[in-house]
Amino acid sequence: MADKVILTGDRPTGRLHIGHYVGSLRRRVELQNSGEFKDIYIMIADAQALTDNFSNPEKVRQNIIEVALDYMSAGLDPAKSNIFIQSQIPELTELTFFYSNLVTVSRLQRNPTVKNEIQLRNFETSIPVGFFTYPISQAADITAFKATTVPVGVDQLPMIEQAKEIVQKFNNIYCPDKPVLVDCEALIPQNESCQRLPGIDGNAKMSKSLGNCIYLAESADEVKEKIMRKMFTDPQHLKVTDPGHLEGNCVFTYLDAFCRDEHFERYLPEYANLQELKDHYTRGGLGDVKVKKLLNEILFEELEPIRQRRHELEKDIPYVYEVLKKGTEKARETAAKTMAEVKEAMRINYFADSELIRMQSEKYQAQD
């Protein structure tokens, strides 16, 4: 369809890891190359990152280039996708302000992602208002570009839900006959392992603070070291002959996320596919080292082109900032157009509203 539009983004609080990659980034690249979308906007959400890093703006500032490099090396192509910086689009803040009238405090309190993040950050007793209301700003991000499609990880589903509610409410109140805002839908990975890739230590979340990530930009040696020496498998699988367990076994979860049948022809031709490997493992007689080596080969194949592209891009950082600048200019144009429509729908476009000026002057002429 010609009028499908993508918007999505990430907070620049660190380098992107392979959880981001299988959770959303890989899909974005596929969607970008599908040719099905009229416009693609990929946002570096620095303003949102500041809602919980307000005291550390330098961290956010430093990570903008990291995220941009990760995006482009993973295959986002500036000729097809507008990569831009959130804080440089004032219309997003303006929209947020008007949308905040359409959302209640109790609705925000019920947002499961916000709830969870408040707990994680120990904000329970003093929640910054900006952080508390970031779902509203996220609705602004999405609607400013009239996005129809938002490829995100599952943790973002409650945000999309809230955005949809805001769209409905806005259109109902301000423009029931000619809706201005466009309804959107989340696109999440089909594969469960991709939806939430665990950390290499088996922790449910891959996160920088837990030190259990594999980064897109990491060297092949570092990745190998993490897989071979640190990755959590099955603690009961002591001898090769012991039956192994798949549940909670990171190596297999990662294989679920990354492996395709063709990998077996290349690296382990004695198995046709992952199911056969799993069957052997659970039966007993298959050692962890062999499985880990396979995972390492597959990750190497997937990550090496990304590393090489990053290496090239790192040689020309001003070019990367130029890409962000161009993307931001284009994003701003689109957001400004939507903003004008929003103001018209809300009837706060006073100076462009000749009807209003005419009526008010008639009112006062009649009093003479």
Positions touching ligand TRP (CB under 6 A) are 7-11, 45, 48, 138, 141-142, 150, 152, 156
Closest distance of CB 13 from ligand TRP, Å? 9
For ligand TRP, the closer CB: 74 or 142: 142
Closest distance of CB 144 from ligand TRP, Å? 10
| CB 16 within 8 Å of CB 67 | yes
| CB 148 within 8 Å of CB 184 | yes
For ligand TRP, the closer CB: 141 or 234: 141
Question: Please, which residues bridge with residue 149 across strands?
Answer: 6, 185
For ligand TRP, the closer CB: 152 or 320: 152
For ligand TRP, the closer CB: 143 or 249: 143
Q: What is the rounded CA–CA span in Å between residue 224 and residue 235?
A: 20
Closest distance of CB 150 from ligand TRP, Å? 5
For ligand TRP, the closer CB: 157 or 246: 157
For ligand TRP, the closer CB: 129 or 366: 129
Q: DSSP for 86-121, please give it.
A: GGG-HHHHHHHHHHGGG--HHHHHT-HHHHHHHHHT
For ligand TRP, the closer CB: 205 or 293: 205
Closest distance of CB 160 from ligand TRP, Å? 8
For ligand TRP, the closer CB: 47 or 274: 47
Nearest residue to ligand TRP, by Cβ distance, number only:
45
For ligand TRP, the closer CB: 86 or 249: 86
Closest distance of CB 296 from ligand TRP, Å? 28
Q: What is the rounded CA–CA span in Å between residue 59 and residue 77?
A: 25
Around 336, how many Cα atoms within 13 Å sit in the side-chain half-sphere? 8
Q: DSSP for 29-87, please give it.
A: HHHHHHT--SEEEEEE-HHHHHHHHTT-HHHHHHHHHHHHHHHHHHT--TTTSEEEEGG
| CB 291 within 8 Å of CB 277 | yes
Backbone angles phi, psi at 207, to 5 degrees: -150, 145
Q: What is the rounded CA–CA span in Å between residue 177 and residue 199?
A: 49
Closest distance of CB 334 from ligand TRP, Å? 14
12 alpha-carbon distance from chain centroid: 11
| CB 339 within 8 Å of CB 346 | no
Helices 250-258 & 274-283 angle (0-180, nearest 10) = 170
Closest distance of CB 260 from ligand TRP, Å? 27
Closest distance of CB 200 from ligand TRP, Å? 21
Closest distance of CB 158 from ligand TRP, Å? 10
> Residue-wise over 126-154: b if at least 16 C-beta within 10 A, else e?
ebeeebbbbbbbbbbbbbbbbbbbbbbbb
